[in-house]
């Protein structure tokens, strides 16, 4: 007598199901929310360890002025990493382009605005050069950008034999200045900064609501309403707190924060709402399948590198303006900071996964670590070691989570 009874494994009790798996069942990206939580914890930790100095308004403004280059490069780097590549040359490109920008103003007499445009264009040309070798000659990006790191560092040393100083004050203001206080003060708070914060909160709410409505319209899964409301409320609180603190700083809203904010909005749209962004994710997820689906992988790869070259040009402008001079050694280890920010922010080593918002949070974590440890007068060597350990733990945590999710 035979039996057709099938043995079906019983589900795990709730207590034995990993928290990340339970959250994913509710439509929650546990990794993404964990990154934000880690940033909050690190900020609170250093606020205590520095006796409240970390969140002093002028220090918060300095955080964005000093780390704008990491955020800008991380935006481009996360696109490169999502597509399954890497770029080791951006630090050298920053030094090279910074030299071109400084020389164009001091020796060629270009107005600072034209010099900025020239620097971004030169960065894009460098990206096109490297993108050609990656996309059309099929040389691995690691090799191409390693060569680029050496080439453009060498050119920077040739171009900037000695420090090029005496740059226009208007140019230096790009990194060290703040938005004009055209609306006056309320108490000691800059009204322009408060208005920007209110507009930012409204924009976030509108974007999130529209995205939720679009998902429902296409019968796609959405987060539970309570969780959705909590999420955007927390984002609003974060933006509001940041802008209130900045409103009490010496200058109000730093110009680098405005530049980074515009880039975040633009590239979040590109990665989430355009064909180009979807193609980047498709290539990173499965290059062969993307090619068979009609994606022009060579064209996408080429423009990814043009894009990060242009962003390296913007980072070069910020770095040169902040230093007030072009220095051949500028940009040292910038590529490592950008890559670390992306991986800390949740980008997958294997490609296909990563967000602009995650990369920015990763850059902020690196910036808070730098500033907090500096305030505590920790030796720079130990600072490097601590940042390396944080990077290792972040990637290991991501890999362990994926392994557990695949075996549960």
**Buried b / exposed e along 343-365 (16+ C-beta atoms within 10 A):** bbbbbbeebbbbbbbbbbbbbbb
pLDDT of 25 higher than 70: no
15 pLDDT band, cuts 50/70/90, is very low
Q: Render pLDDT for 27-44 as a digit per residue (tens, 0 to 9).
A: 445 666 778 888 888 999
pLDDT value at residue 406: 58
Residue 17: pLDDT over 60: no
Distance CA 308, CA 304 (A): 6
pLDDT tier for residue 178 given thresholds of 50, 70 and 90: very high
Question: Does the pLDDT at position 302 exceed 80?
Answer: yes
Of 373, 363, 366, nearest to 390 by C-alpha is 366
Average pLDDT over residues 219-246: 87
Residues 75-80 have a mean pLDDT of 97
Evaluate if pTM is beyond 0.95: no
Task: Give the CA angle between residues 96, 305, 157 to the nearest 5°.
Answer: 15
- Domain segments of the chain as ranges: 55-177+254-331
For residues 247-264, give the mean pLDDT. 94
Question: Do the Cβ atoms of 86 and 145 come closer than 8 Å?
Answer: yes
Segment 180-214, tens digit of pLDDT: 988 888 888 999 999 999 999 999 899 888 888 88
195: phi then psi, degrees, rounded to nearest 5: -65, -40
**pLDDT at residue 9, rounded to an integer:** 43
**Average pLDDT of span 143-171:** 93
Residue 276 confidence (pLDDT) above 90: yes
More confident: 393 or 377:
377
Lowest mean pLDDT among 22-26, 176-180, 235-239: 22-26
Closest by Cα among 312, 283, 266, 279 to 87 = 312
Mean of the pLDDT values across residues 156-173? 91
pLDDT digits (tens, 9 = 90+) for 55-66: 999 999 999 999
pLDDT for res 19: 47
> In the prediction, which pLDDT does 234 show?
86
Look over the chain and give the mean of its residue pLDDT values, rounded to a whole number. 88
pLDDT of residue 163: 87
Mean pLDDT of 295-303: 96
Percent of the chain whose predicted confidence (pLDDT) is above 70: 90
Which residues, 6 or more positions from 381, have their beta carbon under 8 angstroms from its beta carbon?
A: none
Nearest to 371, CA basis, from 42, 35, 41:
42
189 CB neighbour count, 10 Å cutoff:
18
Range among 103-112, 161-170, 200-209 with highest mean pLDDT value: 103-112
Helix axes 275-285, 255-273, angle to 10 degrees: 70
Residue 405's pLDDT is 61
* Number of helical H runs and strand E runs in the chain: 16, 2
pLDDT at residue number 14: 44
């Amino acid at each position: 007598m035979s039996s057709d009874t099938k043995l079906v494994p019983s589900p795990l009790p709730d207590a034995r199901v990993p928290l990340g798996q339970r959250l994913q069942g509710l439509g929650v990206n546990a990794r993404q929310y964990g990154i934000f939580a880690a940033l909050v914890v690190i900020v609170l930790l250093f606020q205590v360890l520095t006796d409240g100095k970390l969140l002093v308004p002028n220090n918060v403004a300095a955080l964005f002025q000093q780390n704008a280059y990491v955020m800008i490069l991380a935006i481009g780097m996360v696109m490169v990493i999502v597509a399954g590549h890497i770029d080791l040359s951006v630090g050298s490109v920053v030094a090279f382009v910074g030299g071109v920008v400084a020389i164009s103003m001091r020796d060629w007499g270009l107005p600072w605005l034209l010099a900025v445009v020239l620097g971004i264009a030169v960065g894009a040309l460098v990206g096109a050069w490297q993108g050609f070798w990656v996309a059309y000659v099929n040389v691995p990006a690691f090799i191409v950008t390693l060569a680029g790191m050496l080439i453009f560092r060498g050119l920077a040393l040739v171009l900037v034999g000695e420090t090029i100083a005496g740059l226009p004050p208007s140019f230096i203001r790009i990194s060290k200045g703040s938005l004009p206080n055209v609306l006056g003060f309320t108490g000691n708070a800059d009204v322009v900064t408060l208005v920007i914060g209110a507009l930012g909160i409204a924009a976030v709410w509108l974007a999130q609501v529209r995205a939720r409505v679009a998902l429902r319209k296409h019968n796609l899964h959405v987060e539970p309403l309570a969780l959705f409301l909590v999420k955007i409320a927390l984002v609003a609180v974060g933006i509001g707190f940041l802008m209130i603190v900045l409103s009490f700083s010496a200058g109000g809203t730093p110009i680098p924060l405005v530049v980074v904010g515009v880039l975040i909005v633009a590239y979040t749209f590109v990665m989430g709402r355009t064909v180009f962004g979807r193609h980047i994710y498709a290539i990173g997820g499965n290059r062969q399948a993307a090619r068979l689906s009609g994606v022009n992988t060579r064209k996408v790869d080429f423009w990814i590198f043009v894009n990060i070259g242009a962003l390296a040009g913007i980072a070069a402008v910020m770095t040169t303006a902040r230093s007030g001079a072009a220095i051949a050694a500028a940009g040292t280890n910038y590529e490592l900071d950008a890559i670390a920010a992306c991986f800390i922010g949740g980008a997958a080593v294997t490609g296909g996964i990563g967000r602009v918002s995650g990369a920015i949070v990763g850059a902020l974590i690196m910036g808070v670590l730098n500033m907090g440890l500096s305030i505590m007068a920790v030796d720079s060597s130990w600072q490097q070691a601590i940042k390396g350990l944080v990077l290792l733990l972040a990637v290991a945590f991501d890999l362990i989570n994926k392994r557990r999710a695949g075996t549960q």
